[in-house]
Amino acid sequence: MDLDFSAAEQDFRAEVRDWLARHVPDGLPSMDTLEGFAAHRAWEARLASARLSAVSWPQEYGGRNASLIEWLIFEEEYWAAGAPGRVTQNGVFLLAPTLMAYGTEEQRRRWLPGMAKADQVWAQAWSEPEAGSDLAALKSRATRVEGGWRLYGQKTWSSRAAYASHGFGLFRTSDEGRHRGLTYFMFPLDEVTVRPIAQLDGLPGFAELFFDGVFVSDSMVLGAPGEGWRIAMATTSSERGLALRSPGRFLATADRLVHLARDASPELADRAARCWTDAEAYRLHTFATAHRLMSGAEIGSASSMGKVFWSELDLRMHTLAMELLGERAGETPWLDGFLFALAGPIYAGTNEIQRNIIAERVLGLPR
């Protein structure tokens, strides 16, 4: 057991730090505005020009074959530098790992390079009005037609869909079972009716999607028809998926929080120090997980522990910042961060669902 970075890893960190110090823009407008969305796309293109937008991807798709440890280093430097939120998040961290694992070579060549440069921006489309935590209750359908499929139904809480170009999600293609009749589709959003939904900050961070027979070709099916549930679940707990949210973001928040709490009462300062230590714990835990993954193991259900931990840590940090700042919070980035952190225990599987998964699949308690 050791915690030593190799010389190559240290060089990589230095390169990333140097590049970011020279290129990170001052605060961009929110990515949930038209202007901000364009600015965030431009930033992603700039990152991509230095092959830093998806470092862990193979070179041929725009990455640099970085190891998992190097990816974690990149993320530490990225968030410490105060760089913008990732408008490409859904594509790069959710769809791309799925494409790498289950897509065809043609699909990878067609979509990954553009995703890395934000030529296309992808929205996720999992939830439906009657299928949230119980995702397998989803009713949207795809029916077979000549050369492809037609999509029908309604998706909701689709992050980035207000301005994105494409989406991905599950559709029912047979009635052979709750989980078995589902297929993983990609689709362009231009023929989908998109109704943006304003979030707590008043901006349309997500949207409702209406499918009225939208045609997609067979080349937009990811994996085999009927295999959608297995494929979607496999990559929600993948190493680069949301389940393993990189610690860098929380380390940077924790550092800023400690700075904010330096003149606070002992009680508030103690809470800040706890958050700082918890961010450290998440970082160390992730190094251990990275080692297991690089040795060929899968995280599986244990990824639910990380999801609960980081989302609740993030919320604790931002709640404390709001208390420390009081009425001045709105003049700082902490308010937006607080609103974003509030979503953490809800998205990517609510923390109640995650605790059920931990209890049943990690601890082995009866269902």
Partner 1 sequence: MTFAFTDEQLALAQTVRDVLRAHCPPAALRSERRPAWEQLAGIGFFGLLLPPDADGLGLRLVDAVAALEETGLACLPGPVVETAVAAPYLLDDVAKLASGSVCVSVLLPGQAYAPDADLADLLVVARADGLHLVSRESVRLAPRPGADPCRRLFDVSFDESVLLDRSYVPALRRATVATAAQLIGVARHLLSVTVAYAGVRSQFGAAIGSFQAVKHQLADVAIALDFAAPLVYRAALSVDRPVPEADRDVSAAKAAAGEAAALAARVALQVHGAIGYTDELDLRFWLGRVWSLSAAYGGSAVHRARVRASVIGGDLRRYP
Q: Which of 115, 121, 182, 261 binds partner 1 (CB under 8 A)?
A: 261
Nearer to partner 1, 168 or 309 (CB): 309
* Contact between 262 and partner 1 per CB under 8 A: yes
Of residues 183, 104, 202, the one with CA closest to residue 143:
183
- The C-alpha atoms of residue 126 and residue 161 are separated, in whole angstroms, by 12
- The C-alpha atoms of residue 170 and residue 231 are separated, in whole angstroms, by 10
Cross-strand bridge partners of residue 60: none
* Contact between 79 and partner 1 per CB under 8 A: no
Active-site choice (75, 239, 280, 312): 239
Q: Note if 239 is an active site residue.
A: yes
Per-residue b or e along 155-176, where b marks 16 or more CB atoms closer than 10 Å to that residue's CB: bbbbbbbbbbbbbbbbbbbeee
Nearer to partner 1, 100 or 269 (CB): 269
What residue type is 173 in one-letter code? T
- The C-alpha atoms of residue 163 and residue 168 are separated, in whole angstroms, by 14
* Contact between 277 and partner 1 per CB under 8 A: yes
- The C-alpha atoms of residue 78 and residue 76 are separated, in whole angstroms, by 6
| Least Cβ distance, residue 212 to partner 1 (angstroms) | 39
Q: Which of 52, 251, 299, 343 binds partner 1 (CB under 8 A)?
A: 251
Nearer to partner 1, 104 or 277 (CB): 277
Q: How far is CA 118 from CA 127, 148, 228, in A?
A: 24, 26, 25
| Least Cβ distance, residue 366 to partner 1 (angstroms) | 4
Nearer to partner 1, 8 or 200 (CB): 8
Query: Where does the chain have alpha helices with state H?
Result: 7-23, 34-49, 68-80, 89, 96-102, 105-116, 228-236, 248-260, 266-294, 303-325, 334-343, 351-357
Identify which range of 126-134, 148-156, 209-217, 259-267 contacts partner 1 by CB under 8 A. 259-267
Instruction: Map the footprint of partner 1 across residues 1-20, applying CB under 8 A.
Output: 1-6, 9
Q: Which of 151, 272, 299, 341 binds partner 1 (CB under 8 A)?
A: 272
* Contact between 270 and partner 1 per CB under 8 A: yes
Q: Which of 99, 194, 308, 317 binds partner 1 (CB under 8 A)?
A: 308
Instruction: Map the footprint of partner 1 across residues 348-367, applying CB under 8 A.
Output: 352, 354-356, 358-360, 362-367
Catalytic positions, please? 239
